[in-house]
Amino acid sequence: MTAAEIFGLCGAALVGVGVYGLVIAPEPLRKLLAFNLLGGGIFLLFGAVARRGAGAGLGGDPVPQALVITGLVVAVAATALAVALLLRLFEASGDVSLRNDPPPAPEPES
Amino acid sequence: MSLLADLLTIVGVGAGAFFFLAGTVGLLRFPDTLTRLHALTKADNLGLGLIVLGLLPRAGLSGGLKLIVIWALVLLASSSASQLIARVAHRGERER
Amino acid sequence: MSLLFDIVLSLIVVALAVRVIVAEDGFAAVVSFAAYGLLVALAWVRLYAADVSLTEVAISGGLAGMLLIGAASRLRAIDARAAAQRSGRGVRLFAALLSCGVAGGLGLAVLALPDPAPSLAEAAVANLPPTGVGNPVTAVLMAFRATDTLLETVVVVLALVGVWSLAPDRLWGGRPGAREHADPNGPLAFLARVLPPIGVVVAVYLLWAGASEPGGAFQGGAILAATWLLVIMAGLSDAPATHGHGLRWLLVAGPLLFLAVGFAGIWLADAFLAYPTDWAKALIVAVEVAKLLSVAAALGLLLLGPPRRIDTP
Amino acid sequence: MNGFLLFAGSLVLAFVALGLRRVLRGPGDADRMMAVLLLGSGGIAALLLQGVATGMPGVIDVALSLALLAAFASIAFAKAAERAPDEAPGETS
């Protein structure tokens, strides 16, 4: 076993956990976290590939590493947008259910 | 000289790891939020300080300075953060 | 010996990820997620990707943690109601099978990666001298794949426009968030006075070190953004009004300068986003400085959320 | 010697993992927030041991950033708890 393989498998497991959470979690915030776990798993897979591509005196291939940096910043921007949407929905309706059935009557905000 | 430095590293890092163990034991054994917070912040920051001390002879001059700055920052941040957390916990307990 | 470290670390990371999904309330899930992010930063160090690790620390340790903890405590009121809608047994079984399939397939792919691994490391190092920077990751971000980075800075601004457009019409251009107040002698105000100078120094240092060692504009920008938010949360400074021209120019300065340098490359160096050899390092550092400020402003405002109040004169 | 440093790093990580198990169980939010504090000091210790043992450039800078940002999640937590004084944030759920 090498570090690349261990963290590659860890990334694969994270993708699995993320997919599971994305399907079963009832709360949108939890789905958002699950989506981030899924993305984090993919980033770790990139990291494993980068580590295997070590050469030329570098510990890892810089191209996938740079792609992961770009991906992390885009992921946090998207997460912030999603959280803002979620809070706005909560303010407007008092609920953030993603179900199709009609939501319970909105409660007055405290 | 290098033997002395190695000895300092072993003693410092070993003692640091021991304090992390102590902090964890405190977390597992102490009965309520405030005492657990106490165990965590005191023991772990002392452990980090000892580890920094042990690593100093191996880090060079600018690296060693950075290590000391890191420890100072952690002390500052974790003492203030634990104060903030303790206030929240304390208020929660009073309201119950 | 280091394999032991890797295995322990991987197991904790996966266990925390599982906790994020199964934790009983949203707040517990969010805290587990923050802990997971900090540990993934350790994993990046083990994968010899210190640049990525710095980004992960700045983003999940600083920004994402603050964002999600705030959101979880505001959404607490509906936690119980959401928990009542838990998926049925059939759905859970299906999801478990699906995720096992996906994870198993990816795991097999990881174990069956081609040997010797394809790598661009040699090419990146060979083409390093014309860019003038010593850190190959910075060279990839700013020169070899500069289009990605340019579009990414645009994406961050677009996400901010999306967040702002959630405000009702009458609040457009107002200030985000509530006016914060804190005990001027409390620990929060103390931290907000002591940490910002250190944060600014670290951000500038990371930007400067990024030319030759791990670091760069995103890492510095994220730290600068977190520092700015600390000052606002402690009530020492108010969030800026989003209609300000200065603020809006600051937000687009990074992408604009990047684009301008890119177009200048067409006749100075024969290609879009190419740098003339003699000027490459100076241009890269100039774009990085502008990007640092724009990314910091955009990330900070993203976390503050849509405008909520208009100044009453 | 480097093997010793890496072993100490694994040990610290294992202790931190045990502590994490305890604090994430709660019962209150304040207990859970300790997870971030715990990783602040424990994660930095593991990083420093790694960085000095392998001599990889930049690892100390990662620890420096982590030290700077260690308090931020707790600050967000304290502000959020202040904003919602009607719920008892110490020992809910």
Contact A13/C14 with Cβ under 8 angstroms?
Answer: yes
Residues in chain C with pLDDT values less than 70:
1, 80-85, 312-313
CA atoms within 13 A on the CB side of A106: 11
Query: Whole-number mean pLDDT of chain B?
Result: 85
3-class DSSP state for residue C308? strand
Quickly count: other Cβ atoms within 10 Å of residue C136's Cβ.
27
Question: Across the interface, which of C6, C29, C159 has its CB nearest the CB of A33?
Answer: C29
Measured CA to CA, the distance from residue D53 to residue C302 in angstroms comes to 38
Contact of B53 with B77, CB cutoff 8 Å: no
Supply the pLDDT for residue A10.
Answer: 93
Amino acid of residue C238 = D
> Are B and C neighbours with ≥3 CB pairs closer than 8 A?
yes
At residue D29, the pLDDT reads: 80
Beta carbons of B80 and C198 less than 8 Å apart = no
Distance, in Å, from the CA atom of A37 to the CA atom of A33, rounded to the nearest integer, reads: 6
Q: What is the ipTM of this complex?
A: 0.88
Helix, strand, coil fractions of chain D, as percent rounded to 5: 75, 0, 25
Chains that touch C (3 or more CB pairs under 8 A): A, B, D
Specify the pLDDT at position D86.
46
The answer to whether the Cα torsion of A79, A82, A87, A90 is positive or negative is negative
Q: At what angle do helices D72-83 and B33-95 cross, to 10 degrees?
A: 20
B83, C194: Cβ pair inside 8 Å? no
**Terminal Cα distance for chain D, rounded:** 47
Q: Which of residues 21-40 of D touch B (CB under 8 A)?
A: 22-23, 28-31, 33-34, 37-38, 40
The length of chain A, given as a count of residues: 110
Residues B22 and B43 sit within 8 Å (Cβ to Cβ): yes
Q: Report the distance separating Cα B20 and Cα A63, nearest Å.
A: 38
pLDDT attached to residue D45: 92
Which has the closest alpha carbon to C85: A24, B36, B35?
A24
Q: What would the pLDDT profile of A67-83 be if each residue is shown by its tens digit?
A: 999 999 999 999 999 99
Interface contact C187-B84, CB threshold 8 A? yes
Collapsed DSSP state (helix, strand, coil) of residue C274: coil
Judge whether C204 and C220 are in contact, CB under 8 Å.
yes
Res A42 pLDDT > 90: yes
**Which residues of chain D fall short of a pLDDT of 50?**
86-93
The whole-angstrom separation of Cα C292 and Cα C203 is: 9
pLDDT range class, residue B32, cuts 50, 70, 90: confident
